[in-house]
């Protein structure tokens, strides 16, 4: 009995020690960022390619590296997902640390070779937010900020009401930013401002079409990484900026 008791006690100590090691294993970063790419039926293969190649181009830009190096931890964690219908979401690139040019280039190469997995489906922004928010749990990182960066060319047309999903997500301390592509819906940015974005410093960036996506994504990524204040007055030719208090 004494031996059994000691064995059980030892097992408890081992489990506690392992748990403590796991807790200490959280990697500190300035930002945990989910990049959510629209892969619904409204996006053809060329438009999808323009999204991921635009993202790859941004990660190679010196301004992004400078923004990352300006943080306290000089590192961010990024994962990339595709989304469409309420139950159509997939992680294309798992969480990885970006802490300098080499890591950023690895991310760029992964984006350039990333195949499109979801080729059709509705536009469930609420489903995308729910899925993206779930990726922050037990991801191995301890970020100063958690942000969902959602690119989209349409309104929520499937799944729960998007504003309800937004409230749940920002209630967990997660910020939602949007990149609206206005090729089909010229006022989509206003819909995002009213229904989708939220959290500390949330904002909408605009791409007038898929050809201008790369420039818009770069602007947005630099602001997300540096967490700079967003002016309500748009810069010439660079779309609308919005600071939201929720």
Q: Which two tokens stand for residue 207?
A: 């791409």
Q: Which of 102, 193, 173, 174 is nearest to 132 (CA)?
A: 174
What is the residue range of 140's domain?
27-226
Q: Is residue 130 part of a domain?
A: yes
Can you tell me the distance from the alpha carbon of 146 to that of 132, in angstroms, rounded to the nearest whole number?
A: 11
The mean predicted confidence, pLDDT, of the chain is: 86
| Domain contains 117 | yes
Q: Would you say residue 237 lies in a domain?
A: no
Determine the pLDDT at residue 228: 60
Question: Taking residues 57-66, what's their average pLDDT?
Answer: 97
Nearest residue to 41 (alpha-carbon basis) of 154, 159, 125: 154
* Residue 66 near residue 228 (C-beta atoms within 8 A): no
Q: Does residue 89 belong to any structural domain of this protein?
A: yes
Query: Is 234 contained in some domain?
Result: no
Name the strand (E) or helix (H) holding 168: helix 162-171
Q: What is the pLDDT of residues 92-146, one digit of tens each?
A: 999 999 999 999 999 999 999 999 999 999 999 999 999 999 999 999 999 999 9
pLDDT value of position 227:
82
Least confident of 4-13, 24-33, 51-60: 4-13
pTM value is 0.83
Q: Is 236 a member of any domain?
A: no
Number of structural domains the chain divides into: 1
Structure tokens at 144: 């100063």
Which pLDDT score, from 0 to 100, does residue 12 have?
A: 37
pLDDT band, residue 69 (cuts 50/70/90): very high
The answer, yes or no, to whether residue 13 has pLDDT greater than 70, is no
The number of beta carbons lying within 10 Å of the beta carbon of residue 10 is: 10
- Report if residue 155 sits inside a domain: yes
User: Any idea what the Cα angle at residue 181 is, between residues 78 and 144, rounded to 5°?
Assistant: 25
Read off the CATH number of the domain in which 179 is found.
3.40.50.410
Q: Say whether 175 sits in a helix, a strand or coil.
A: strand
What's the rounded mean pLDDT across residues 196-212?
A: 96
Token pair of 181, please?
Answer: 């592509």
C-alpha to C-alpha distance for 121 and 46, rounded to whole angstroms: 17
Q: Is residue 7 part of a domain?
A: no
């Amino acid at each position: 009995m004494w031996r059994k008791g000691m064995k059980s006690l030892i097992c408890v100590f081992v489990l506690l020690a392992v748990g403590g090691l796991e807790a200490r294993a959280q990697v500190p970063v300035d930002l945990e960022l989910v990049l959510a790419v629209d892969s619904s039926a409204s996006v053809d293969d060329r438009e999808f390619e323009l999204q991921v190649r635009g993202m790859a181009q941004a990660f190679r830009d010196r301004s992004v590296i400078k923004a990352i190096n300006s943080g306290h931890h000089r590192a961010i964690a990024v994962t990339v997902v595709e989304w469409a219908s309420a139950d159509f979401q997939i992680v294309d690139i798992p969480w990885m640390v970006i802490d300098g040019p080499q890591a950023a280039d690895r991310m760029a190469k992964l984006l350039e070779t990333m195949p499109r997995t979801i080729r059709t489906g509705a536009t469930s922004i609420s489903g995308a937010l729910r899925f993206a928010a779930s990726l922050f749990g037990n991801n191995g990182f301890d970020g100063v900020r958690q942000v969902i960066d959602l690119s989209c060319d349409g309104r929520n047309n499937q799944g729960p009401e998007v504003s309800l999903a937004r409230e749940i997500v920002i209630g967990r301390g997660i910020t939602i930013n949007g990149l609206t592509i206005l090729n089909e819906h010229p006022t989509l940015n206003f819909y995002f401002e009213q229904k989708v974005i939220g959290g500390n410093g949330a904002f909408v960036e605009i791409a007038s079409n898929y050809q201008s996506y790369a420039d818009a994504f770069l602007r947005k990524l630099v602001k997300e990484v540096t967490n700079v204040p967003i002016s309500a007055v748009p810069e010439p030719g660079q779309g609308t900026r919005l600071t939201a208090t929720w």
